[in-house]
Amino acid sequence: MRDRTRYLYLAVIVAVLAGIVVGFVWPDVGQALKPLGTGFVALIKMMISPIIFCTIVLGVGSVTKAASVGKVGGLALGYFLVMSTVALVIGLVVGNLIDPGSGLHLTAAAKEAAAAEAAKGEATNTVDFLLGIIPTTLVSAFTEGQVLQTLLVALLTGFALQAMGPKGAPVLTAIGHIQRLVFRILAMIMWAAPVGAFGAIAAVVGATGVDALKSLAVIMAAFYLTCALFVGVVLGALLWLVARINLWSLLRYLGREFLLILSTSSSESALPRLIAKMEHMGVSRTVAGITVPTGYSFNLDGTAIYLTMATLFIASATGDPLRFGEQLGLLLFMMIASKGAAGVTGAGLATLAGGLQSHRPELVDGVGLIVGIDRFMSEARALTNFAGNAVATVLVGTWTGGFDRERALQVLAGQDPFDEATLLDEDEREPEPPTAPADREMSPV
């Protein structure tokens, strides 16, 4: 079964290339294929809530002290805040150096596109954002697909099982069985990846074409380069200094996830696999279960860089460049606003438009200048966000003692391959036999 998955991802590559050809040669056909990509991403998102719930409940419920969970969450949020700030500063520096927006002009169509994005991205205030984390009912978080709501319910369930002591062991065992079922379903869905990738790429190439990219090549190239430098230099140095793990080995280990994100332009499509792969690599279940889902809402390094550079680009293109003080104020505002839009498809563009609408409405029309290439920039955002969350999980695990470096080196060297067929380490996840002591379920991972 493990060898068969190689053909799956080769098929994804072929499908992406075929989608590009169809989009260029028959653009109308390419756009008509969009539901294929949308449907595949929807199938993946369908599995996110149950996977997060099972992973976090098993992780929290198996820890003997609640303080350990609080330490992981606190360190993760502190790290996310620092790295978002670093990403904003890097985007600010590059955006001011290249000044890519000069010489462009708005059209009526661009203004209409900008107005539509601003309507979708109305900024959410802090109170509404916090209240939105609380689901309507205990199970509505699963039906509505809200990551933060699922996270809250899972934490409450995990702490409740933790407080039950040995009596909670049967429930943990049952959830362990459910987790195996959910990951098995996800492994089956992944075989539809080539079809989804073909439809998604054909649609975006058919809708955008080449002409829309020519005048905006500078901002695209600068954004991709900035993201690459952030991942390679900042994240790479941190990963080596803290965990003594080579960044390129980690990125190679996650290569199939990056391919999946590139073909679907959605980092959410790889969230369940990231949790599974981090656990397989030696990150404790508690750290992976808390850091990865939280990072998908709060650790948006690529989105932070995008908001910075896009804002400076729009201000320059509309002939209303921002002074340094205005840049800082607007970008801090957008960093907060981006948390409220986390997890929404196209959140980067909608957040940009909504933030400008509420903070500098005279710049909103400029959003129309980048609507045409936002899909291509969203791929770099998603890849950077994903890389940032993978590195963050290893770092938080190292700081909290929840990372087995020796196992990680073994896995990254290819000595213990990840089981692509089940997305689980079956030998480690089998439920306890009836004669085993119940208290093992409550021991730290």
Q: Are 141 and 410 in contact, with CB atoms under 8 Å apart?
A: no
Residues 344, 40: Cα–Cα separation, whole Å = 16
Q: What is the pLDDT of residues 208-255, one digit of tens each?
A: 665 545 556 777 788 888 899 899 999 999 999 999 999 999 999 998
Q: Are 300 and 338 in contact, with CB atoms under 8 Å apart?
A: yes
pLDDT at residue number 113: 52
Backbone angles phi, psi at 418, to 5 degrees: -70, 135
Kindly state the tokens that stand for 268.
């959410």
Q: Of 121, 118, 94, 50, which is closest to residue 312 (Cα–Cα)?
A: 94
Residues 267, 269: Cα–Cα separation, whole Å = 5
Mean pLDDT value across the chain: 75
CA distances from 345 to 121, 123, 200, 267 (A): 11, 15, 14, 10
**Long-range contacts for 134-142 (Cβ within 8 Å, ≥24 apart)?**
141/49, 142/49, 142/50, 142/53
pLDDT at residue number 432: 39
Residues 19, 140: Cα–Cα separation, whole Å = 37
Q: Are 181 and 3 in contact, with CB atoms under 8 Å apart?
A: no
Q: Are 195 and 40 in contact, with CB atoms under 8 Å apart?
A: yes
Where in the chain are the domains? 4-425
Could you give the percent of the chain with pLDDT greater than 70?
70
> What's domain 4-425's superfamily in CATH?
Sodium:dicarboxylate symporter (1.10.3860.10)
Task: Provide the b/e sequence for 145-175 (b: ≥16 CB within 10 Å).
Answer: ebbbbbbbbbbebbbebbeeeeebbebbeeb
Q: Are 50 and 142 in contact, with CB atoms under 8 Å apart?
A: yes
DSSP strand E in 298-432: where? none
Residue 438's pLDDT band, with cuts at 50, 70 and 90, is very low
**Residue in this structure with the two tokens 């990056």, named with its chain if needed:** 258
CA distances from 172 to 166, 305, 442 (A): 10, 40, 9
Task: Specify the pTM.
Answer: 0.69
**How many of the other CB atoms lie within 10 Å of CB of 278?**
27
Residues 213, 210: Cα–Cα separation, whole Å = 5
Residues 222, 151: Cα–Cα separation, whole Å = 35
State the average pLDDT over residues 67-89.
81
**pLDDT of 261 above 50:** yes
Mean pLDDT check: name the lowest of 90-104, 142-156, 222-236, 406-420. Answer: 90-104
Residues 428, 62: Cα–Cα separation, whole Å = 14
Q: Are 57 and 161 in contact, with CB atoms under 8 Å apart?
A: yes
Q: What is the pLDDT of residues 334-386, one digit of tens each?
A: 666 555 444 444 556 666 776 676 667 777 766 766 765 666 677 788 888 89
Kindly state the tokens that stand for 319.
């002939």
Instruction: Give the CA-trace dihedral at 161, 45, 143, 156, to 10 degrees.
Output: 20
DSSP string, 337-371: HHHHTTTSTTHHHHHHHHHHHHH-GGGGGGGGGTG
pLDDT at residue number 421: 65
Residues 292, 271: Cα–Cα separation, whole Å = 8
Q: What is the pLDDT of residues 37-52, one digit of tens each?
A: 878 877 877 877 787 7
Q: Are 269 and 256 in contact, with CB atoms under 8 Å apart?
A: no
DSSP string, 113-170: HHHHHHHHTPPPPHHHHHHHTS-SSTTHHHHHT-HHHHHHHHHHHHHHHHHHGGGGHH
CA distances from 208 to 41, 114, 377 (A): 20, 16, 13
pLDDT at residue number 145: 62
Q: What is the pLDDT of residues 122-181, one digit of tens each?
A: 545 556 667 777 888 877 777 776 667 887 888 888 888 878 878 888 888 888 888 888
Q: What is the pLDDT of residues 262-299, one digit of tens each?
A: 777 667 777 788 888 998 999 988 888 888 888 877 78
